[in-house]
Amino acid sequence: MILPFEEMPIESRLWIFQSNRVFSDLELKEIEESLNIFLRNWKAHGKNLTSGFKIHYKRFIIISIDESSYSATGCSIDSCVHFIQSLEKKYKVDLLDKMNVTFKQGDYISYKSIDDFKEMIKNKSVSKKTIVFNNMVINIADYLENWEVPAYKSWHNRYFK
């Protein structure tokens, strides 16, 4: 069953997949249709999972699951990863590479390799106050509080030593 993301319980588990580029309006429409089909049929041990999704800034695919009835299993998580891989292939994007950093520079959202981000720190192009996207958040409550934060409040802080 699919619920609007805003109606998912705050303790719902989530996964964030960041794209290395912005999706076009046509791509967004197609991706939303694909997400609706996938999530409508997403199961764990034959039981339907209650889930929702959101696409933020035309580049972050956020999938949530209410585990109060049925939890995601290894197989259901694998099926989600395979689905995301199919999107990567179809749209020629990176969605699973966790060694990249997405951050704000004014109103613009930048996507860099971790090495490029470290170089930007060294060159003082970014600071501890730079807004980063902490895709390591684990549930909706964490997402609401800790997803879009200054670098010093996320795992990115370790590179500012």
Strand partners, 15: 63
Which pLDDT band, with edges at 50, 70 and 90, does 149 fall under?
very high
Strand partners, 55: 61
| pLDDT score for 85 | 98
Q: How far is CA 132 from CA 88, 150, 155, 160, in A?
A: 23, 6, 10, 13
Q: Write down the pTM of the prediction.
A: 0.94
Give the pLDDT confidence of 43-59 residue by residue, as tens digits: 888 888 899 999 999 99
**Element at 145 (helix H, strand E):** helix 140-146
